[in-house]
Amino acid sequence: MRSKSIIEELNFFQTETEKKLEEEKNLENLKKLYYEILGKQGKLTEILKKIKDLSIEEKKEVGTFANTLKETLTIKFKKKQEELENYIQLEKIQSEFYDITRPLNTKYGKIHPLSQIQYEVEDIFLNMGFQIMEGPEIELDEYNFGKLNFTEDHPARDMQDTFWTKEGFLLRTHTSSVQVRAMEKLKPPFKIIVPGRVFRYEETDASHENTFYQLEGMMIDKEVSIANLIYIMKTFLSTFFEKEVTVRLRPGYFPFVEPGFELDIQCLICKGKGCQVCKYSGWVEILPCGLIHPNVLEFGGINPNEWMGFAFGMGLSRLVMMRHSIEDIRHFLSGNLRFLEQF
């Protein structure tokens, strides 16, 4: 009865295999196990090699038993495989599940200090009835110089060192370049401000940068006086600095205004007594301005016998430096997060 002992062996083999199957947790290992057990050179084949010495009857008996066993085990392997695959799928879904109530570990970006102050200044002027205008940074000579009353050989052109493109365009050296563009576009009376980036071809140091920010202002109406100009400037400055400011006008030369002024404020730090910030003069130069030159009105298509206006240009970068006591203009465009994160 050798068939009996083979069948016993197969029974034992089945129990062992089922036990292993039960314990298996890994899909890869399951596949290996399958080949070890039911593969062509697997254990089952190994056991069945022994039937070659049996009688035909016995071979039949063992053969039928072995076939059923193989089917049973195959089914069990399949089931186990599905079970493991489902498990993997479930783990994947669980890992993908996004808990929307989880606290965010996000670093927020910030508005650049220059933009913060720009928006603040814009608001003050919007409240006084000004509208915001923009103009191109790459400009034509005529808007940056020509129509602002800088003649071809005007020495004032040397006041601003200019970046030129090969094609003969330039990077605007001041936001005054938008003055004539505004006159061409808008019907007087109007009041505009023009915040923007300007460029100068110059050595950089703590107070000079080749790229910086200005804010131009312009008002055109039937009757515009220096008193109007001073009033608007004073209102702006006291709102911005949140205290009463004392201003003074000195003559200043700019080809597009006549008369032209430098508007200074009494030093807010020492109240005019003299300190490091105002270089012991008691005054800080803050706003060049003036009444718009009749030629410029004419270049803008506005009749100077009918209309008049004032203009001013402030250094936005300077204003931000004053507000936050920033000692070096080069911080602004440095991209240094340690600087930027303070605001």
Query: What residues make contact with ligand DAH under the rule CB under 6 A?
Result: 174, 176, 216, 254, 257, 260, 288-290, 311-313
The smaller minimum CB distance to ligand DAH, of residues 188 and 288, is found at 288
Spatial distance between the Cα atoms of 160 and 180, rounded to a whole number of angstroms: 19
SS3 state at 250: strand
Listed residue (239, 17, 42) closest to 130, CA to CA: 239
Please give the angle made by the CA atoms of 216, 315 and 233, to the nearest 5 degrees. Answer: 60
The smaller minimum CB distance to ligand DAH, of residues 125 and 254, is found at 254
Minimum CB separation of residue 307 from ligand DAH in Å reads 16
Minimum CB separation of residue 285 from ligand DAH in Å reads 11
The smaller minimum CB distance to ligand DAH, of residues 51 and 217, is found at 217
The smaller minimum CB distance to ligand DAH, of residues 248 and 273, is found at 248
DSSP string, 152-202: TT-GGGGGS---B-TTS-EE-SSGGGHHHHHHHHSPSSEEEEEEEEEE---
Minimum CB separation of residue 219 from ligand DAH in Å reads 11
Minimum CB separation of residue 312 from ligand DAH in Å reads 5
Nearest residue to ligand DAH, by Cβ distance, number only: 313
The smaller minimum CB distance to ligand DAH, of residues 14 and 176, is found at 176
The smaller minimum CB distance to ligand DAH, of residues 130 and 312, is found at 312
Minimum CB separation of residue 119 from ligand DAH in Å reads 21
Cα 238 to Cα 233, 235, 260: the distances in Å are 9, 5, 22
DSSP string, 74-127: HHHHHHHHHHHHHHHHHHHHHHH---TTSPP--PPP---HHHHHHHHHHHHHHH
Q: For residue 262, what are its two tokens?
A: 């430098």
Listed residue (148, 149, 285, 290) closest to 219, CA to CA: 290
Report the first-to-last Cα separation within the chain, whole angstroms: 94
The smaller minimum CB distance to ligand DAH, of residues 10 and 289, is found at 289
Minimum CB separation of residue 216 from ligand DAH in Å reads 6
Minimum CB separation of residue 262 from ligand DAH in Å reads 9
Query: What is the β-pairing status of strands 131-132 and 190-199?
Result: parallel
Minimum CB separation of residue 189 from ligand DAH in Å reads 17
For 80, phi and psi rounded to 5 degrees? -60, -40
The smaller minimum CB distance to ligand DAH, of residues 44 and 233, is found at 233
SS3 state at 5: helix
